[in-house]
Amino acid sequence: MDNLLWLIPGFPLVGFLILTLAGKNMSRLARGLTGAGSICLSAIVVLIVGWNFLINPPAAGNYTQTLWTWFEIANFKPTITLYLDGLSLVFVFVITFIAALIHIYSIAFMAEEADDARFFASMNLFVFCMLILVLASNLLLLYLGWEGVGLCSYLLIGFWYQKSENGYAARKAFIITRVGDTAMAIGLFILVYQFGTLDIVAISHSAPEMWQAGSKIATLCALLLLAGGLGKSAQLPLQTWLPDAMAGPSPVSALIHAATMVTAGVYLIARMHVIFQLSPVTQMIIAIIGAATLIIAGLSAIVQYDIKRVLAYSTMSQIGYMFLALGVGAWSAAVFHFMIHAFFKALLFLAAGAIIEALHHEHNMFKMGGLKKSLPVIFWTFLIGSASLAALPLITAGFYSKDQILWYSWASDGGSPLLWFTALLGAFITAAYTTRMMLITFWGEAKTHLGMRPGKLMTIPLLILAVFSLVAGFIELPHNFGHVQLFSEITEKVLPGTNIRAAVSGEFIYQIIAVLTTLAGIYTAYILYYRKPMIIINLKHSKSALGLYQFLLSGWRFDKLYDTVFVRPIVYLANLNKDDVIDKFYQGITWLTGRAYRALSFTQSGSLRWYVMGLLIGAIFILTIQIIL
Amino acid sequence: MILIYLIGILTFGSALTLLSGQLNKGLPKWFALLTLLSGFVVLLVFWISNYKEVSLQSTNTWITEYYHNWIPAFGISFHLAMDGLSLLMLLLTFFMGILAVLCSWTEIIERVSFYYFNLLWILAGITGVFIAMDLFLFYFFWEVMLIPMYFLIGIWGSANREYAAYKFFIFTQASGLLMFLSILALYFIHGQNTGIYTFDYFDLLGTQVSPTVAFWLMLGFLIAFAVKLPVVPFHSWLPDAHTEAPTAGSLILAGLLLKTGAYGILRFVLPLFPRASIEIAPWAILLGVIGIIYGAILAYSQTDLKRLIAYTSVSHMGFVMLGIFSFNEFAFQGVVMQLITHAISTGALFLLAGMLKERLHTRDINQMGGLWTSMPKMGVIAMVFVMASLGLPGLGNFVAEFLILLGGFKVHVVLTSIAALGLVFSAMYALRIMQKVFLGPNVNLETAFSAKTDLPDFSLRELLVMGSLSICILWLGLNPQPIIDTVKPMINGLQEIYASPIITQNVK
Amino acid sequence: MLSADDFLVLSPIILLAASSVVVMLLISLKLSHRMIQVCSLILFAVSFASLFFIQNLLPYYVEPLLVIDRFSVFIMGLIIFSGMVVSVFSYIYFEEKEESPKEYYVLLFLCTLGACILAISENFISLFLGLEILTVGLYALIAYLRGRHHNIEAGTKYLILAAFSSSFLLFGMALMYLQTGGMEFSSIASSLRKELELPPLFLTGFGMLLVGLGFKLAVVPFHMWTADVYQGAPTPVTAFIASASKAAVLAVLFRFLLQIDGFRFKLILLIIICIAVASMLIGNILSLQQRNVKRILAYSSIAHLGYLMVAFLPGNEMSIRAVSFYLTAYVITTLTAFGIMIVLSAKDDDAEDIESYRGLFWQRPELACILTASLLSLAGIPLTAGFVGKFYILASGVAAGFWVIALILVLSSVIGLYYYLRIITTMFSGTKPSVTTEARQHPFYYMLSLMVLSGLTILIVWFGVSPAGLMHFVNDFGLT
Amino acid sequence: MNSLIPIDMVILLAAILFVMGIAGVVIRKNIIFMLLSVEIMLNASALAFIAAGAKWGQPEGQVMFIFILVMAAAEVSIGLALILQIYHQHKSLDIDILKEMKG
C-alpha cells in the first residue's frame, strides 16, 4: 500500500496540469470531468488505502513513501516523503471525500462560468496542496502544502477578479496568513537547529527527551508554530481575513474556508502535539484563543445579513471550538469535531451557494425568505446542516462532537469552569444564530424572484453530505451513552488520550446542561426572529444597541484596528518614501558638484587680467606655503 | 580549454554580429543566438559529463584551469579557472544570454547589429568575471562589461535612459576603482612580504595583512560588490538602470550583473580577508536586513512596473548579503540558490514587463488592470513568477530564502527574524503586481487603449522563453540537489576557512 | 668642442633644426601646400627614424647642457611623433580654412625642436632655450589664423601669460643659481646634497620655477589660460600643445626633480601634492557641464597632468615608468581625440560644440568609434591604454604609500567619467537625418588622416590589451 | 670677488623691478603697457642672473642675460604683431575686450 500513496496527491496534480496546459482547448464537459474526476480518483485511492490501513494495520502504524530527497545540506535532509497514519488518514479522507462532492457540485455550479478551466485547475491544485500538507512526513514539505493552499486560496477568493474588492480580499487573506506562516517558518528554524531535522516523527520522538516540559525553548517553538496555525485557521488575532474570503465562489468557501484549509491549523497542532504538550502555557493560550474566538465570532455571526458571512463567522467560531479542544488536550475530540464540522459546513455552504445562485447572486438573507416551499431539497439539507451546526441533541453528528469538547473543556487537565462556561455560551450563540439564519432564509415570505433551480448534480452531493452530517456522529459516542469509539481507535495511535482531572464526575449532568443550552438558544432565536420580531425592530431605535450592532457587524472592528495600526502607517511610509530618500543623498552630491562646476566656471571669466591675477595668486600661494612651513 | 573557448566564442560572435549587420539586418540576431546556444550546449555537456567529479570531490575544488602570461612585468597573467560556483554562474550567463537574445527578437529594430554586439560583449565580460583568477584580470573584465551595458541602456533604453546610464556607470565605476585600489594594495603587501609580485588569486590568498589594513582593503572590495549587488544604501543606481534599460538589458542586469557582486564577495572578500569579514559581518547583515525590508517597502509604493520589480531585486539581494555573512553551509548554499533563482524569477518578471510594454506602451501599473481576461497565459506565467518572487515553496526562491534564513538564524536570531518579515512584505508587493496588472476591472484599459482592445497573448517565441523559465524555477524548487552538489566543494572550502579556530578566535 | 659622437647623438635635434630651414627654402621655391606637407612629413619621419640610430650610444652626455638617455630619447620620440601626426592632420584643417599654411610647418618644426631640447636638457640654460623656442613658436602658431578673433585672442593671452610666467621661471632660476652656483642640474644636486633643509633662497627660486613650468603644464593654479588657448588655437596646434609641449615640459621638470632628489624634502613633496590634488579635482569639475569639446579636453588635460603629478610623487624608478607609460597613453589618446575634431571641422566650424557630435555614430561610425575609444582611454576604462596608464600611476602611488592621493585620484576620475560619457552619449544618441555624403575635398588626406587615426586607435587598444611590450620598454628607464 | 655693490642689494633691486613689472601687468589695461611690464619683469630676472653670475664669478649669468634679451626681443616682435591685429579687429587696445572665450 505504501507505494500507492503518491497517487493520492498525484491525481489532483495531474488534473491541475491538464487543465492549466490544455484547459482552453477542452470542451466544458471534459474540463468538468477532468476537474472532478481527478479528485474522485484520488478519493477512491484513499478509500482503498484507508481500508487496508484499517483492516491490516501496518506494523509501524503508518504508511511511508519516499519519493525523492528534496535537498541535502550538512546532514539536513528534508525529503519528499508521504506519510500516512491515523491522523492524516482522517484528514485525507475528509479532504478527498468532501472535495470530490464539491467538485461534482461545481460542475453544475460553474456551468455558466466562462473561465471554469481556471476554477477547476485552482481547485485541483488546492486539493493537491492540502493533501501534501496532511501527508507530509516532514515540516518543510508540510510548509510547502501550507503555503500552497494559501496560494490556491488567493487564486480562488479572487476568482472573479474583475471586481477589485475580490482581489483585495484575496490579497488580505494571503498576507494575513503569511504573517502567521512567517512566524511558523522561524519556528521551523529553531526546530532544525534543535533536532537537526524537520521530520515529524523524529521530532516527536526526541522532543520529550531533549526538552523539559515547560522549558522556554519548547514554549517558544510551540508559540511560533501556533502563530502559523492561527493564521491559517483564522483565529484571534489573525482572523480578519476569513469573512472577506467569502468573495470567492461558494464551492470555494465550502471547500477551503469551511471544510479543509482553515482546519490546517488544527492539523498542525494535532500533528505536533508532542511539542505543544511540552508547553502547558501554550496549550492554555490555545484554549483561551479558541474560547475567545468562538465567542467573538459567534456574536458577530448573530448580526450578519450576508448568508455567507454568517457561515464564515460560524466557521471561525467552530474552529475556535477545535482550538479549545486542542488547548485542553482533547486531541481526538478536536479532530473529530473537525471531521463533523467539515461535513455540515460544506453542506451549508453548498446549499447557501445553491440558494444564492437560485436568487440571482443575492447574498442578503433579508432579501430571501420563504424558500421552504420553493427549494425543498435545499431546505431540508440546509436544515440538517444547521441542526448539526447548532448541535441539535442526539440526532445530529454535531451534537456528539461538540459534546465531547464541552465535556473536556470542563473535565480535562487543562479544562476549567471558565472555559466550559465560554464553550457553553458559544453553544447558545451558535444555536441562536443558526436558528436565525434558518428562519430568515426559509420562512417568511419570498422577497426575491426565484431563478434557476439546482439540478441533480448539485443536490446529490448535498444529500450525501446531509446524510453524513447526521450519521457521522455515531462512530464516536460518549462512553456513558452507547460508548462507540470507532473514531478514536483510528487516532489513538497518533494522538495521546485526554487526561481527566481526578476530581470531576457527573458527565451526564453536563451533557444535559449542554442540551438545554442549545435548545434555549434555538428557542430564543425563535422568539426573537419569528414570534416577536418587534423586539429586534424596537432595539434598532436604541442608539447603544445600534452601536453594538455595528460593532458586531464589523467583526469587532478588528479590521479598523489593523488598518490603523499596521496597514496605514506602512502604506503611508511607503508612499512618502516613493522616491527613495537615499537617492536624494546621491542627488545632493550631484547637485554639489554642479554647484562646484558653476563656481569654478565663473573663475574662467576670459579676462586676461584676471588670469594674470590667478597666476599671481597661485605663485603667492606656493611661496607662502614655503615660507610658512 | 573550455574557458578560452567560452570567452573566445563570445568575442568572435560579437564581431560576427557586427559584421553581418552590414549585410543583412536579420542576420545578427541569429548569429547571436547561435553563439550563445553553442556556448550553452558546450557548458551543459561539460557539466553533465563532469558532474560526478564536480560534486564528489571535496579537496580540489577546481575543475579546469587555463594559464597564460599577460603582463609579466607586473605579475599579471591571463589565469582562468572554474569551480562549481563558476560553472553554475556560467550556465546562468549563457542561459540568460539566450533569453536576452530571444526577448530582443522583435523589440529591437534599430541599430540591430550594434545591439547584439554590445549584448555579446556584456556576456563576454561577465563570463570573464566568473572565471578570472587573476585579480587584475578580474578587474579588467569587471570593467569591460560596463561599457557595453552603458550603451545598451543609453541607446536602446526608454525616455530617461541617459540619466540612468550615467548613474549606472558612475556608481559601478566609482566603486570598482575603490576595489582596484584594494587590489593594488594587496599586490604590494604580498610583494613586500614575499618578494613575489603577482596578482594571481591563488598566490594572494594567504597574504598576511595586519588587521587594520585588511579591514580597509576588505572594505574596498566589499563596497564594489555591494554597489553591484546592490546593498542599501548603494542601491540607488539600480531602479533607474533597470527601469530605463531595454528588456534584455534589465534581464541581464537583474540576472547577471547583480550576481557578479555576490560572486565577488564569495570568491574574493571571504577567502582573502576572513578576519575582516567576520568583523564586518554584523554590519553587513544589518545592511542586508535593512535592504530586505527597505527594498520591499519601496517596491510596494512604486507605480512603474519595472521600477517596482527593480526594488524587489534590492530586497532579494538583501537576503544574499544576509546569507553570505552568516558564514555557514546553509546560508552559503542558500546564497548560491538565491543567485540563480533570483536571476530566473526577476528576469522573468522583467521579461513580462517588457512584453506588457510592447503591447500597452506603458509601464504604469495604474493604467493597467484586468489583463488576465485578454492574456490568460501571460497571467498564469506572471502568477508563477510573482509567487516565486514572494518565496512560495515549491519554487526555487523558497529553497534559497529558506536556506539563507536558516543559516542566518544560527548566527543572528533577531536580525534574521526581522529579515523573515521580508516574506510578508514580499507578499505585499508581489500581490500588488498581480492585482494592479492582471486582476481588477479592465475599464482603464479600454479607455486608455481603446484601439487595442484585443491584446495578443503570448506568441510562440514568448511562450518558449517563459515556459523554459517556469520549468527552471520549478525544477530548482523541487530538486535543487544538482546545484547544491555542484557548489558543495567550493562552499566546503569557505566553510573550512571560517571554521578554523585561528580565524574565529583572533577576532575576539 | 663637439665630437663626432656628439653630432650623431644630437642628430634628431640637428635634423629638426635643419628641417625648418629646408622647409623655409622649399617655401621660397613656391611649392604647393601639398608638396610642403609631404616634405615635412618625410622630414619628421627622418628625424623620428634617427632616434633609432642613436640607441647604442646611450646614455650620452653633451656637457654641460644636454643629456641623452633612454628616457629622453623616448620623450623625444613622443614629441616628434606628435609633431608628425599633427602635421598630417594639419593639411585638412588648413585647407578647409583656405589659408596657405606653408610657414606653419616651419613653426611646427621649430616648436618640435624646442620641445626636444627641453626633453634632453640638463641645464637651466638649455631648459630656457628649449622652452623659449617652443613658446615663441607657439605664439605664432596659436594666432596663426590671424583673421579670426579667437585665434588672436588666444595668442595674446598665451603671449602675455607665457612671458609673465617665463619671467617667474627666469627669476627662480636666477635665485637658485645664486644659491647653488651652478646651472647644471647635477651641480645643483651636488650642492644640495649636503643640505637637510632647503635653503630659503633656493626654495623661493624653486617655487618661481614651478610657476613657470606649472604654467606650461597648465596645472592648477596656473591653469586658467588652458581652455581659452585650446579653444582659440587652430585645432592641430591645440593638439600639439596638449601633447608635445606638455610631454616636453613634464620631462624636464621630472628630470630636474629627480636629479636634485627633490622628493627628499617634505616641502616640495607637499607642493607637488597640492598641485596634483587641485589639478585633478578642479580640472575634472571644470569640464563637468562644459559644452565645448575643445574646452572639455582642455580641462581634462589639467586633470590628466594632475594624475601625472601623482606619478611623480614616489620619485623612484617606478615613477619614471609610470610617467612614461601614462604620458604615452595620454599623448596618443589626445592626438586621436583632436584628430577626430580636425577631421570633422569645416571651414567655419571647428566641431567644437558638443551638439555637432550628436548622432555621429549613426552617420560616421568609424569616426565615432575612434573618438569613443580615445575618450574611454582618457577616462581610464579597460581595453584602452588609459586604463593601464592609470593602473601604473595608481600602482606607483600605492606602492609608495600615497593612499589618500590615490583615493582622490580615483574619486576625481569618477567625476571625469561623467563628461567623457556625455560626449559619448551625445554621439550615440539621436539621429540627424543622414547627410548625403558630400565628396571629400581632400580624399587622399582624408584617407591618410583616417589611417593615422585608426593606427592611433589600434595603439590605444593594443597598449590596453597587451601592454607588456611597452612596459618592457619603459622598464629599462633608469635614473641617470 | 669683491665688488662695491653687495649682491644682496642687486637682487633686491631685481626683485623690486620684478614686483613693479607684476604690478604693471596687473594694473594696466592697455595691452602695450602690459607687454612693457612683462619686459620689465624679464629684465629684472636678467639682472638677477647677472648678480648671481657675479656672485659665483661665472660667465653663465651673463650668457643667460643675452639669451633673455634675445628672447624678449622675439617676444615683443610677435607681441606687437598680435597687438596690431587686435587693433585691426577691435579698434581698441583695451585688454578687457578680449573676453570672447570663457566659461
Residue pLDDT, tens place only, C372-399: 999 999 998 888 999 999 998 998 888 8
Query: What is the amino acid identity at position A242?
Result: L
At B188-225, the pLDDT tens digits run 889 888 888 899 988 888 888 888 889 999 999 999 99
Q: Could you tell me how far CA B184 lies from the centroid of its own chain?
A: 26
Decide if A617 touches C, using CB distance below 8 A.
yes
| Residue at C354 is within a domain | yes
Q: SS3 of C292, please?
A: strand
Continuous segment of H or E residues that includes residue C151: helix C149-180
Task: Dump the DSSP string for A97-117.
Answer: HHHHHHHHHHHHHTTT-TTHH
Mean pLDDT of chain A: 86
Q: Yes or no: say if A21 and B463 are a contact pair by the CB < 8 Å rule.
A: no
Decide if C414 touches B, using CB distance below 8 A.
yes
Cβ-based neighbours of B335, under 8 Å, separated by 6 or more? B262, B266, B319, B320, B323, B324, B400, B404
Q: SS3 of D29, please?
A: coil
- pLDDT band at residue B59 using 50, 70 and 90 as cut-offs: low
pLDDT score for B411: 87
- pLDDT band at residue C438 using 50, 70 and 90 as cut-offs: low
Query: What is the amino acid identity at position B55?
Result: S
CB contact under 8 A, D75 and C140: no
* Full-model pTM: 0.91
Q: Which residues of D touch C154 (CB under 8 A)?
A: 101
In angstroms, what separates the C-alpha of B148 from chain A's closest C-alpha? 24
For the segment C70-90, the average pLDDT, to the nearest whole number, is 92
Residue with cell 540607488: B236
Q: Which residues of A touch C213 (CB under 8 A)?
A: none
pLDDT score for A241: 87
Q: SS3 of B18, please?
A: helix
Tell me how far apart the alpha carbons of residues B219 and B352 are, in angstroms, rounded to a whole number.
Answer: 37
In angstroms, what separates the C-alpha of C123 from chain D's closest C-alpha? 11
Decide if C285 touches D, using CB distance below 8 A.
no
Q: Which residues of B touch A170 (CB under 8 A)?
A: 431
Q: Give percent of chain C above pLDDT 70.
A: 96
Continuous segment of H or E residues that includes residue B41: helix B27-56
Tell me how far apart the alpha carbons of residues C389 and C335 are, in angstroms, rounded to a whole number.
Answer: 16
**Candidates C125, C139, C164; nearest CB to D41:** C164
CB contact under 8 A, B370 and A162: yes
Shortest CA distance to B436 belongs to which of B489, B368, B504? B368
Q: Which residues of A touch B399 (CB under 8 A)?
A: 70-71
CB contact under 8 A, D78 and C139: yes
At B384-411, the pLDDT tens digits run 999 999 888 888 899 999 999 999 888 8
Q: Which residues of C touch A593 (CB under 8 A)?
A: 285, 288, 415
| Residue at C480 is within a domain | no
Q: SS3 of B26, please?
A: coil
Residue B489 has pLDDT above 70, yes or no: yes
Shortest CA distance to D25 belongs to which of D11, D15, D9, D36? D36
- pLDDT band at residue A528 using 50, 70 and 90 as cut-offs: confident
Shortest CA distance to B108 belongs to which of B417, B381, B435, B358? B358
Tell me how far apart the alpha carbons of residues A102 and A125 are, in angstroms, rounded to a whole number.
Answer: 14
CB contact under 8 A, B431 and A174: yes
At D29-40, the pLDDT tens digits run 899 999 999 999
Tell me how far apart the alpha carbons of residues A27 and B324 are, in angstroms, rounded to a whole number.
Answer: 52
Q: Yes or no: say if C233 and C94 are a contact pair by the CB < 8 Å rule.
A: no
| Residue at C161 is within a domain | yes
At A79-126, the pLDDT tens digits run 888 888 888 888 888 889 989 988 988 888 888 878 888 889 989 999
For A330, phi then psi, to 5°, come to -90, 70
Chains A–B, number of C-beta pairs less than 8 Å apart: 134
- pLDDT band at residue A74 using 50, 70 and 90 as cut-offs: confident
In angstroms, what separates the C-alpha of D39 from chain C's closest C-alpha? 8
Q: Could you tell me how far CA B334 lies from the centroid of its own chain?
A: 14
Decide if B232 touches A, using CB distance below 8 A.
yes
For the segment A138-145, the average pLDDT, to the nearest whole number, is 90
Tell me how far apart the alpha carbons of residues B253 and B347 are, in angstroms, rounded to a whole number.
Answer: 9
CB contact under 8 A, D38 and C167: yes
Residue A573 has pLDDT above 80, yes or no: yes
The sign one gets for the Cα dihedral D24, D27, D30, D31 is: positive
Q: Give percent of chain C above pLDDT 90.
A: 48
Decide if C406 touches B, using CB distance below 8 A.
yes
**Candidates C407, C425, C468; nearest CB to B162:** C425
Please, where are the H alpha helices in B57-160? 84-104, 112-131, 135-144, 146-156
Write out C396-464 in H/E/C secondary structure.
HHHHCCCHHHHHHHHHHHHHHHHHHHHHHHHHHCCCCCCCCCCCCCCHHHHHHHHHHHHHHHHHHHHHH
CB contact under 8 A, C160 and A612: yes
CB contact under 8 A, B298 and A577: yes
Which residue does chain C place closest to A612, by CA atoms? C161
Q: Chains meeting A at 3+ CB pairs closer than 8 A?
A: B, C, D
For domain D7-93, the CATH class is mainly alpha
CB contact under 8 A, D103 and A606: yes
CB neighbour class for C442 (10 Å; exposed up to 12, middle 13-18, buried from 19): middle
Which residue does chain A place closest to B430, by CA atoms? A171
Chains C–D, number of C-beta pairs less than 8 Å apart: 129
**Candidates A601, A606, A613; nearest CB to D101:** A606
**Residue C243, all three cell numbers:** 601633447
**Candidates A604, A609, A616; nearest CB to D22:** A616
Interface test with B, best of A69, A172, A189, A575 (most B CBs within 10 A): A189
Residue B508 has pLDDT above 90, yes or no: no
Q: Which residues of C touch A587 (CB under 8 A)?
A: none
Domain count, chain C: 1
Tell me how far apart the alpha carbons of residues C234 and C230 are, in angstroms, rounded to a whole number.
Answer: 8
For chains C and D, tell me whether 3 or more CB atom pairs sit within 8 A of each other.
Answer: yes
In angstroms, what separates the C-alpha of A593 from chain D's closest C-alpha? 16
CB contact under 8 A, C285 and A600: yes
pLDDT score for C432: 55
Q: Which residues of D touch C124 (CB under 8 A)?
A: 64
Which residue does chain C place closest to A628, by CA atoms? C267
CB contact under 8 A, A609 and D22: no
**Eight-class DSSP state of A82:** E
In angstroms, what separates the C-alpha of A524 from chain B's closest C-alpha? 43
In angstroms, what separates the C-alpha of A557 from chain B's closest C-alpha? 22
In angstroms, what separates the C-alpha of C16 from chain A's closest C-alpha? 33
Q: Which residues of B touch C471 (CB under 8 A)?
A: 71, 73-74
In angstroms, what separates the C-alpha of A596 from chain C's closest C-alpha? 7
Shortest CA distance to C396 belongs to which of B172, B223, B197? B197
pLDDT score for A1: 61
In angstroms, what separates the C-alpha of D70 from chain A's closest C-alpha? 24
Decide if C429 touches B, using CB distance below 8 A.
yes
Domain that holds residue B502: 280-508
CB contact under 8 A, C221 and A615: yes
Tell me how far apart the alpha carbons of residues C380 and C390 are, in angstroms, rounded to a whole number.
Answer: 6
Other Cβ atoms less than 10 A from the Cβ of A578: the count is 15
Name the CA radius of gyration of chain D, rounded.
17
Please give the residue that has the higher pLDDT: either B96 or A358.
Answer: B96
CB contact under 8 A, B147 and C399: no
Query: What is the amino acid identity at position C321?
Result: R
Domain count, chain B: 1
CB neighbour class for C150 (10 Å; exposed up to 12, middle 13-18, buried from 19): buried
Interface of A with D in 367-426 (CB under 8 A): none
Cβ-based neighbours of B184, under 8 Å, separated by 6 or more? C391, C394, C395, C398, C399, C406
Domain that holds residue C349: 4-474
> In degrees to the nearest 10, what's the CA dihedral of B109, B111, B112, B118?
-130
Shortest CA distance to B149 belongs to which of B19, B239, B252, B21? B252
Residue B279 has pLDDT above 60, yes or no: yes
CA dist C442 → B130, B135, C88, C96, C216 (Å):
49, 48, 12, 9, 34
Q: Chains meeting B at 3+ CB pairs closer than 8 A?
A: A, C
Residue B507 has pLDDT above 50, yes or no: no
Which residue does chain A place closest to B417, by CA atoms? A186
Which residue does chain D place closest to C225, by CA atoms? D102
For chains C and B, tell me whether 3 or more CB atom pairs sit within 8 A of each other.
Answer: yes
Which residue does chain D place closest to C161, by CA atoms? D38
Cβ-based neighbours of C104, under 8 Å, separated by 6 or more? C90, C94, C141, C144
Other Cβ atoms less than 10 A from the Cβ of A75: the count is 8
Q: Which residues of B touch A185 (CB under 8 A)?
A: 402, 405, 420, 423
